A and B are shown apart, each in its own frame.
Chain A
Amino acid sequence: MRLLTHNMLSSNIKGVSNGFPLRIEVEKVVEKQVDFNADFLRNMFPKIEWKAFVDAAKTIGYAELPEEVDSSALDSEEFLNKFHHALLELHLEEGALVCPETGRRFPVSKGIPNMLLHEDEV
């Protein structure tokens, strides 16, 4: 699971009012190279919840991202490279996403987060 996916997900257990951002429990992180596409990054940038993104990157061991940023940063190649790396090249291969309100663990295995709810959670 890449941080792009993490940034889109929340815990949707019945009764949970603020399931975002999911806390990351790391067991194994891998890096996989992805072709750089500046257009894609520019399209994604305004959709990203930045603080959650920076925190998630730190949790999986990447601390190069600026704490605060606005869209003018997209002109900087250095920034785009870092953004690209954090958004697409770091994978949480094994671990879990934890609901911030209930502590329910959504396991991540082979890079796939399992977001399906139990019977009593829907």
Chain B
Amino acid sequence: MWYLCMFFHRLLDYRKAEVESLAQLFLDDNDKWSSLEWRLPLHHHPDSPFHYVDLPSEDVARNIANRSILVKGMYEIWGEGSSYEELEECIRSYPDERKLPYLEPGTTFKITVDSFGKVISFQDQNDRIQRFTYIPFKGQVNLKNPDHKFWVMETDDYGSSNGLPPVDGRRIFFGREVGGADRSLLPTYQLKSRNYLGPTAMDAEMAFLMANQALATPGKLVYDPFVGTGSILVAAAHFGAMTMGADIDIRVVRDGRGPDCNVWSNFKQYGLPMPVGLLRADNNLPPWRPGLKEIFDAIICDPPYGVRAGGRKSGGRKLLKGTVDPYTVPDDKRTDHIPSTGAYSLVECVHDLLDLAARMLIMGGRLVFFYPVLREDDHVENHFPEHPCFKRIATSEQILSSRYSRVLLTMVKISPYTLEIAEAARIKHIDFRENHLKWLEDGNLHSAVFSPDPQLTATGDSKLSKEPKPKYRGKYV
């Protein structure tokens, strides 16, 4: 059955991906592996907040909507049209057996008027509601806690100048609400109320989206190899998953900023179960026992990509540059020795992450991580990391500046980690080690993001060479 899915007008690239991921949690095994069908309402732009989606049952639609972050509402549409007359005709011809159960005496209901891209005054909202007298409502009105919620949703044929995706014609929908996102959890988890924060803590909304992409549910084990202050794992723990995290910086994972301001306290603050394990380890040389594999259900992370925070790996700065022989720690200084670390290029970091995930994820397990891309060309589709064990199922871009954006990649493990793959990864690992400087230069995003724009410096006239402004805000919201 087709349901109208109205999204919050945010993070446009993430909206369908979230619904498709959540469908995996709630669909029967038979339906699971076929992808969802989507359809746009007449004249709507793909960035429009209105999308029809085909789902097998109302329960599935409700469960998806209630768990989601970006679905404002999922509706069974009784009618739609370009005018109220057309809408009436459509609602009248909608089968009675679908309508009458929700109109019965003894039930309570509410009609809400909503609009996209314009404001409707209170008086006009009331006038619109009065038009629906042709629907035989037998129940009582209850505005606070109704059994059934009906929605009138309108879009207008405004031009493209108001910062919203252009719509060609006016469209009005009337439908019954099936479910909607509980965004009240966002203020609860917002970063400004978080006790322990780092410079790159993941904001709550994005962390929840990541946890949804990773299908975090009770009974699963979710791992973050760059745990930092735990901001991503908090979201996974909220959905009931067991969590585990590692970081190379011991001050972050062990000490925090005191006894009540550390990774543990971030979980305690929300009454969430503590991570089952936190450790200090290097993603480049992970300390997992030989033979351990397929233990995590999902790996979620925001790798250090060297723009706001750079990655580190063990080995020592000078040694990696090849200027000195390996430093031997004197025996009497071993106990409290703090090993120096060297820079960790993005390419190597992502290589290690994919290798780790290929080995440690269960079959069908998900790897969800951010990957930075430079916005030199409009199409970046083919530059994403790949691995023979994984299939990429979602690619959601969030634009951060005119120079670069980050893309949330969701990958599913589709084939087992073989000896050949392990060997290839080992050889690559050695290559990274031996050609440390070369990889560091090739994989350096920082200079590309912060260096002066060559166009600007060449012409000296910033106004002329500026890119034309986008016609509407779209992905920037």
Taking Cβ atoms with an 8 Å cutoff, the residues of A that contact B are: 1-2, 4-5, 7-12, 19-21, 32, 34-35, 37, 39-40, 43-44, 47, 49, 88, 105, 109-120, 122
Contact = CB atoms under 8 A, between A and B. Distances in A.
B295 A120 contact: no
A39 B219 contact: yes
A115 B295 contact: no
Interface in B275-294: 276-282, 285-292, 294
Contacts, number: 113
Contacts of A34: 273-274, 276
A117 B219 contact: no
Interface of B: 218-221, 242, 244, 248, 250, 253-255, 273-274, 276-282, 285-292, 294-295, 297, 314-316, 319, 326-329, 334-335, 337, 339-340
Given A8-B292, A119-B340, A122-B315, A111 B287 contact: no
Contacts of A105: 335
19 contacts: A2-B276, A4-B276, A8-B292, A10-B288, A20-B289, A34-B273, A34-B274, A34-B276, A37-B242, A39-B219, A43-B220, A49-B291, A112-B253, A113-B279, A114-B254, A116-B280, A119-B314, A119-B329, A120-B326
A10 B292 CA distance: 10
The 10 nearest A-B residue pairs measured at CB: A39-B219, A5-B277, A10-B289, A20-B289, A115-B287, A119-B316, A112-B254, A119-B327, A115-B281, A114-B280
B326 A119 contact: yes
A22 to B, nearest CB: 9
Nearest to B249: A116
Given A37-B219, A111-B278, A112-B253, A118 B287 contact: no
A120 B287 contact: no
Given A43-B297, A116-B250, 16 more contacts: A5-B277, A8-B289, A8-B292, A8-B295, A21-B289, A35-B273, A37-B219, A40-B218, A49-B291, A112-B254, A113-B280, A115-B279, A117-B314, A118-B334, A118-B337, A119-B326
Most buried by B among A9, A21, A113, A118: A118
B277 A115 contact: no
B290 A10 contact: yes
Most buried by B among A12, A37, A116, A117: A116
Contacts of A47: 292, 294-295
A69 to B, nearest CB: 18
A122 B314 contact: yes
A9 B289 contact: yes
A2 B334 contact: no
A112 B221 CA distance: 18
A37 to B, nearest CB: 6
A87 B221 CA distance: 14
Contacts of B340: 119
B285 A112 contact: no
In terms of DSSP, what is the predominant structure of the interface of chain B?
loop
Contacts of B288: 8-10
Nearest to B262: A110
A122 B340 CA distance: 12
Nearest to B250: A114
Contacts of A9: 279, 287-289
B281 A5 contact: no
Given A10-B288, A119-B315, A119-B329, A112 B218 contact: no
A40 B130 CA distance: 53
A43 B280 contact: no
Contact of B274 (A4, A12, A32, A114): A32
Nearest to B315: A122
A19 B285 CA distance: 14
A20 B290 CA distance: 8
Contacts of B250: 112, 114, 116
Nearest to B217: A39
Contacts of B289: 7-10, 19-21, 49
Contacts of B285: 12, 117, 122
A2 B288 CA distance: 15
Contacts of A114: 250, 254, 279-280
A118 B219 contact: no
Given A9-B288, A40-B221, A112 B280 contact: yes
Given A2-B277, A113-B280, A120-B326, A44 B221 contact: yes
Nearest to B279: A113
A12 to B, nearest CB: 5
